[in-house]
Amino acid sequence: MHAFQLWREFKLSLWEVFQLFPKNEIVYADKTVCILDVQDSESIIKIASRMWGVIKIIKLFQDYRGKPQFSICDIAEKYEGKFAYGVSLLWWDTNLKAILIEIKKTLKAKGISSRFVNKDFKSLSSAQILGENLVKKGSDFTIVIADDTEYFGQTIWVQDINAYSKRDYGKARDMQVGMLPPKLSQIMINISGGSQVYDPFCGLGTILIESILMGNTSVFGSDISPENIEKTKQNLNFARKEFQNNLKTSLTQVLDAKWISSSPFLKKSDVIVTEWYLGQVFHKHSVTQEKINIEKKNLLDIYTKFFAGLQKANYSWVIVICFPFWEMRGKYSYFNEVYDLIQKYCKNLPILPKHEEFKHTRSGSLLYKRPDQVVGREIFKLKLKK
């Protein structure tokens, strides 16, 4: 069994995990961790390089005897030199002092020289685990509490937190256009299940670049703005040159998404992953329902023509798409008109298995919003009705 430590947007993380491991039994899941009955660590590590909603993956010891020190001793005995290790606890941020001291004592009694790297007896962050190179050494350990059961295991993979800062394709970025966070783009691509991504509102090409970085071989993008298509091309060239990739085909063209039925990319790609404009930027103190309604009206015309165009083209692949929702005085205001549109043209694809802990919204979507922002993203996985 393996435990997956989840990102703060845990429903999106779970969606990604379930999409990538559809056949494995879910042993346990909560807001912090999900345990899957999957045995082969090697194959998990291969998939992990394209997972973005997971912070850390832990191989759980089958023979755990309820005392971490015993399992750690078994491993430490095989080491030469001082044994540096870390211990974390999921999911409470409890002080680990008693546990760490007990482990240290047991190791000492066995004549093993050791050092725990935990600072102030707290669980380790990804940065600490990476900084101390603990995954490679096989010496990062985690206690996982799942209801009444305690598990213990060894980290086999931790997310490279530096990977995002390495994405320097921001050369042609323009924050005015509004950019989908790279992490969310990756998760959307993963939950789409496709590998030849088409983004018909490609902006500066974030989704397409993330798809390339995930190892996909073909990307397709269109946008109404010739300048943005030019910038997307620059960014795609940058990604092709600067990052390891398997890219064979990258095609872009200027196209108003109202005329999506004429797009040559509908036949070349195997999925649409996209986000259009989220509307104007509102501030907490100035947002009103009237302003939101005006925004919705502007947006709805394009969405209506977009879905009608896809229907006209008999588009049969999956569509993963974000729509905006807004927070107004602590309450969410949803884009109900879009729900009618979705109902008219599409069927909602199942997101998460039925579970008390992780219900999706009534409209079958999942939400992503930064606490400081008024606008959030409502993410749907859809297929056109036949």
Ligand X SMILES: C[S@@+](CC[C@H](N)C(=O)[O-])C[C@H]1O[C@@H](n2cnc3c(N)ncnc32)[C@H](O)[C@@H]1O
Q: Which residues bind ligand X (CB under 6 A)?
A: 177-180, 199, 201-204, 206-207, 223-225, 228, 256-258, 274-277, 302
In the complex, minimum distance from the CB of residue 225 to ligand X, in angstroms, rounded to a whole number: 4
Q: Are strands 196-199 and 331-333 parallel, antiparallel or unpaired?
A: unpaired
What's the alpha-carbon Rg for the chain, to the nearest Å?
23
Q: Which whole-number Å values give the CA distances from 342 to 296, 307, 380, in the listed order?
A: 15, 8, 9
Whether the CB-CB separation of 136 and 129 falls below 8 Å is answered with no
Whether the CB-CB separation of 174 and 231 falls below 8 Å is answered with yes
In the complex, minimum distance from the CB of residue 382 to ligand X, in angstroms, rounded to a whole number: 16
Q: What is the DSSP string of 60-103?
A: EPTT--S-HHHHHHHHHTT--S-EEEEEEEES-----HHHHHHH
Other CB atoms within a 10 A radius of the CB of residue 60 amount to 17
In the complex, minimum distance from the CB of residue 349 to ligand X, in angstroms, rounded to a whole number: 20
Instruction: Name the residue nearer to ligand X (CB basis): 58 or 292.
Output: 292
Instruction: Name the residue nearer to ligand X (CB basis): 5 or 269.
Output: 269
In the complex, minimum distance from the CB of residue 379 to ligand X, in angstroms, rounded to a whole number: 13
Instruction: Name the residue nearer to ligand X (CB basis): 46 or 240.
Output: 240
Instruction: Name the residue nearer to ligand X (CB basis): 55 or 208.
Output: 208
Instruction: Name the residue nearer to ligand X (CB basis): 96 or 207.
Output: 207
Instruction: Name the residue nearer to ligand X (CB basis): 30 or 199.
Output: 199
In the complex, minimum distance from the CB of residue 297 to ligand X, in angstroms, rounded to a whole number: 15
Q: By beta-carbon distance, which residue lies closest to ligand X?
A: 203
Name residue 249's beta-bridge partners. Answer: 218
Instruction: Give phi and psi for 346, each to the nearest 5.
Output: -130, 165
Instruction: Name the residue nearer to ligand X (CB basis): 157 or 276.
Output: 276
Rounded distance, CA 306 to CA 150, Å?
A: 50
In the complex, minimum distance from the CB of residue 252 to ligand X, in angstroms, rounded to a whole number: 12
- Provide the H-helix boundaries in the chain: 10-20, 41-48, 68-76, 97-109, 126-131, 134-137, 163-166, 182-192, 206-213, 226-242, 265-268, 289-312, 336-345
Instruction: Name the residue nearer to ligand X (CB basis): 121 or 277.
Output: 277
